[in-house]
Structure 1
Amino acid sequence: MAEVTSVRIDKWLWSIRAFKTRTDAADACKLGRVTLNGALAKASRDVKVNDIVTVKKMPVMYTFKVLALIANRQPAKNVYLYAENLTPEEELEKLKMNKTIIFVQRDRGTGRPTKKERRDIDDLMENYYWGEEGSDV
C-alpha cells in the first residue's frame, strides 16, 4: 500500500474520530471551529506531520498533534498512532461539569415536557453550547 503524502483536514479529523462523519468535519471547518497551527482552516487544507489542530466542539476546545497522515477511518484503539491529544485537563473537566449543569430541573409529577417546552429547552441548550444565534451545527 502506498504511503499517504497529503490528507485534507476534514478527512483527517474524521479518520481520527474527532467527528462522526466527514460532512460534520467539513461543516466545522466552514463555520470556523477548526484551526491549523493557529490559523482558521478550510476543509480542503492539507495537514502535515507535527501540525497542531484545534477543534472547538462546545464546551471543549480539543487540541491534537498530527503524528502521521491517514487516509481511511481507523479503529478507535489505533487513533493514538496518528494523533496525540494535547487537550489541557481543564478543558476536559468542562465535560464533567457540563453534564451536571445542563440538567433541566422539572418538578416532581409534571411528567414529560410538552413539544413546546422541549423546543424551548433545545433552544436554550443550543445557545448555551455555541453562544451563537441560529447555529446550524
Structure 2
Amino acid sequence: MDSIRIDKWLWAARFYKTRALAVEHIDKGRVLINGAPCKPARDVKPGDLVRVTQGQVIRDVQVLGISAMRGPAPVAQALYAETPDSVRQREAAATARRLAPEPADTLNHGRPTKRDRRALQEARNWNDRWSASLDD
C-alpha cells in the first residue's frame, strides 16, 4: 500500500478521534494537501505536506508513513513529522495567546443569574444617580 485516503490517515495519525470528524473538518477546508484544498477521498502518500487546522492551532506535517488502522500514540506519531517552521509558529502563537488572551473568551454565555440581573438593573438606574435639575 503506497497511498491511503486522507480521512483515514488523519484518523490513524490521531489528529481526529473519529473519521467522521476528519471528514467534517476536510469539508470545511481546514485540511490542505500540498497547499490545495482536498476532499475526504483524496489519496495521501509519503512525502506529501499536509496542513491541519484544529481550532487556533495550525500544523504543517510531512507524511512519513501510511497506516490504515489506528494504533497507539507512538506508532501514530511515527506516521508524520511536523516541520520546524510549523513548530516555531505554533509555539509563538501559544505564547501570544498566553500573554494577551482574547477578550471575547472571558464573556459568560447563557442567561444571567439573579445577581447579574440585579447588577444590570442597578447600572441602568442613571436617573437616580445623576440629576440635571437646578436645585440648590
Contact 2:9 2:66 in 1 (8 A): yes
Question: Is the counterpart of residue 88 in structure 1 residue 87 in structure 2?
Answer: yes
- Quick check: which has more Rg, 1 or 2? 2
Contact 1:33 1:56 in 2 (8 A): yes
Percent identical: 32
Unpaired runs of at least 5, structure 1: 106-112, 118-137
Kindly provide the amino acid, as one letter, of the partner of residue 16 in structure 1: A
Q: What is the TM-score with the length of structure 2 in the denominator?
A: 0.68
User: Could you tell me which residue of structure 1 aligns to residue 20 of structure 2?
Assistant: 23
Kindly provide the amino acid, as one letter, of the partner of residue 116 in structure 1: R
Unpaired runs of at least 5, structure 2: 113-136
Residue 91 of structure 1 and its aligned partner are, at CA, apart by 1.9
User: Could you tell me which residue of structure 2 aligns to residue 104 of structure 1?
Assistant: 106
Q: Which runs of 4+ in 1 moved over 4 A?
A: none
Alignment of 1:30-45 (within 5 A): 30-45=27-42
Change (3 A) 1:41 1:114: closer
Any idea what SS the aligned residue of 1:63 has? strand
Question: Is the counterpart of residue 55 in structure 1 residue 52 in structure 2?
Answer: yes
Please, which of 99, 111, 133 is the counterpart of residue 116 of structure 1? 111
Contact 2:3 2:46 in 1 (8 A): no
CA-based RMSD of the aligned residues comes to: 2.1
Residue 20 of structure 1 and its aligned partner are, at CA, apart by 1.5
Kindly provide the amino acid, as one letter, of the partner of residue 44 in structure 1: A
Q: What is the TM-score with the length of structure 1 in the denominator?
A: 0.68
Report the Cα distance in structure 2 between the residues aligned to 1:73 and 1:20, rounded to whole angstroms: 10
Any idea what SS the aligned residue of 1:64 has? strand
